[in-house]
A = this chain, B = another copy of it.
Amino acid sequence: MASAEYRELLERVREIGTLEQAAGILTWDERTCMPPGSAPDRAKQHAVMSGIIHERLTSKEMGRLIRALKKQELSVDGAVILRETERKWRLASAVPGDLVKEASRAQSEAMNAWVKARAGSDFGMLEPLLDKVIGLRFEIAEHIGYEDTLYDALLDEYEPYAKSKDIDAVFSRLKKKLIPIASKILNEPCLDGAVPKGTYPVEAQGAFVAGLAADMGFDLNRGRIDVSAHPFTSGACRDVRITVRYNEADPSYVVFPAMHEAGHALYEQGFLEKYYGTPLAEGVSMGIHESQSRLWENMVGRSEAFWSFYYPKFRQAYPAFKKMSPGAFYRHVNAVKRSYIRTDADEVTYNLHIMLRYDVERALFENKIKTPDIPSYWNELFEKYLGIPVTDDASGCLQDIHWSGGNFGYFPTYTLGNLYAAQFWHAAKSQVPGLEDSIAAGDTGALLGWLRKNVHRHGKRYGAATLVKKATGEALNEDYFVRYIKEKYGKLYGISL
């Protein structure tokens, strides 16, 4: 039987989990429903809620329980909950409250300045404020602590237990292989054709998306689909919500954000109920979470197998597409184009955009470049990776809000997600005979079953490295992604990659 201390820890962990869920609803509401004029009230609500969560997480009692339980023999589940709670407690306790507040204020100022700097395409307008944000990140990282390099302390917030020396190795191999592939494809004539002209009402698109998400296994009795400027997934346990954005001129547009967010949502809905409110019902890392969204968006959603079943349904919803052949549609949703903007990038070039950002972050936190050097370093790398010169800051280093918000260490998880996704996809296909055939027959249940069993149900039981090894029999290997790209786009373009 569990000790009194363990039961008390669990109760406190679940209370914090419940408060985080409540705060999550406030965030969802802010991005979908909140009247614009009430932003100041919501900011106060967030501040009070975060304060209470922090106060409860770092309470003396919590420290006492953690210390006591480290001397006890716990169940396998109990040991995971203790490990992850201690991790969270340590991170929350490490950074002095005043520093957290100072960083929060500086980030808020930098994010406001970023809006103007981007509009004016002038990095100089942001530079002093961004420099302050970066300086505070150095301080925060020192408080958190690290073994090899300071950047690991930042990375750890988004990709727990990951080390930048491992990511360096993977990314440098990936770059070597991917840059020539992307370059070859980009030198081919673009295969994209126009979709049938028309206005496709949002209501019909909404119904289509709801049907698609339900077909994927998204439980709408425990979830919702709404609209927001930037699609996102939020919620937990029995209340997981996704948002999408529609394009009235092209109903294929929403399919990919919808499958992406539904992929995140399936992960959240795949945790076991008995663990709700504990780390055993939380995603491993940003990278693993992103692997779930990208697997559905790209490996499934941009595949010939999927559309061989789904394109007739799509045409039924949008009869004008009878004018567009299945082949033309498949090429349309897989168009590769040179782009300055990360969020517009296709699956071939996307990781080059990410690795560029990672290189800038690594250089900054190794003191190899300083804040004022960001634009020139960015532009140099961009031309190297994507083959075209950056013409202005707005299309260059000012395009993302992440850095102004202090989110250093976040970007690499996007590419990790793509690599995990390709490796999971390969493993699922090897382990489940006829997987692609069943998708082509309109049934994604076998894939979901594999993900449930090998990824979802574990929650934070394993770190990302262990999870990948257990699920695929191998450590993270960028070759699965490279091979996926080579095969798919080689066939699509009729070239050897």
Contacts and interface: CB of A to CB of B under 8 A. Distances in A.
A221 B37 contact: yes
B19 A48 contact: yes
Contact of A18 (B18, B45, B222, B236): B45
Interface stretch (A28-36, A102-110, A489-497): A28-36
A176 to B, nearest CB: 46
A219 B37 contact: yes
A239 B22 contact: no
Contacts of A392: none
A276 B42 CA distance: 13
Work out how many copies of this chain go into the complex.
2
Contacts of A45: 18-19, 21-22, 25
Given A35-B220, A36-B221, A239 B25 contact: no
A305 interface: no
Q: Is the interface of A mostly helix, strand, loop or mixed?
A: helix
A202 interface: no
A224 B18 contact: no
Contact of A37 (B29, B42, B52, B238): B238
B48 A22 contact: yes
Contact of A44 (B18, B37, B223): B18
A114 B194 CA distance: 60
A196 B208 CA distance: 35
Given A25-B25, A35-B223, A239 B41 contact: yes
A315 to B, nearest CB: 27
B19 A239 contact: no
Interface string A39-61: 11110110011001000000000
A42 to B, nearest CB: 7
Given A15-B48, A41-B239, A238-B40, A29 B35 contact: no
A447 interface: no
- Bin the interface of chain A by size: 35 or more
A238 B38 contact: yes
A219 B236 CA distance: 33
B221 A48 contact: no
A26 interface: yes
A38 B21 CA distance: 12
Contacts of A26: 22, 25
Given A21-B41, A22-B22, A239 B49 contact: no
A277 B47 CA distance: 14
A190 to B, nearest CB: 40
A237 interface: yes
B38 A237 contact: yes
A52 B220 CA distance: 31
A36 B41 CA distance: 28
A25 B173 CA distance: 49
A276 B45 CA distance: 13
B29 A25 contact: yes
A235 to B, nearest CB: 8
Nearest to A56: B52
Contacts of A41: 18, 21, 236-239, 276
Given A21-B45, A52-B52, A239-B42, A37 B222 contact: yes
Contacts of A52: 19, 52
Contacts of A44: 18, 277
A236 B35 CA distance: 12
Nearest to A34: B239
A224 B25 contact: no
B29 A224 contact: no
Interface in A35-93: 35-42, 44-45, 48-49, 52
A236 B41 CA distance: 9
Contacts of A15: 48
A37 B221 CA distance: 5
A53 B55 CA distance: 15
Given A21-B41, A22-B48, A42-B239, 5 more contacts: A18-B41, A19-B52, A25-B25, A25-B29, A35-B222
Interface of A: 15, 18-19, 21-22, 25-26, 29, 33-42, 44-45, 48-49, 52, 219-224, 236-239, 241, 276-277
Closest 7 CB pairs of A and B: A38-B239, A38-B238, A37-B222, A37-B221, A22-B45, A18-B48, A41-B237
16 contacts: A19-B45, A19-B48, A22-B48, A22-B49, A33-B224, A34-B239, A35-B221, A37-B219, A37-B222, A38-B222, A38-B237, A39-B238, A40-B238, A41-B236, A41-B237, A41-B239
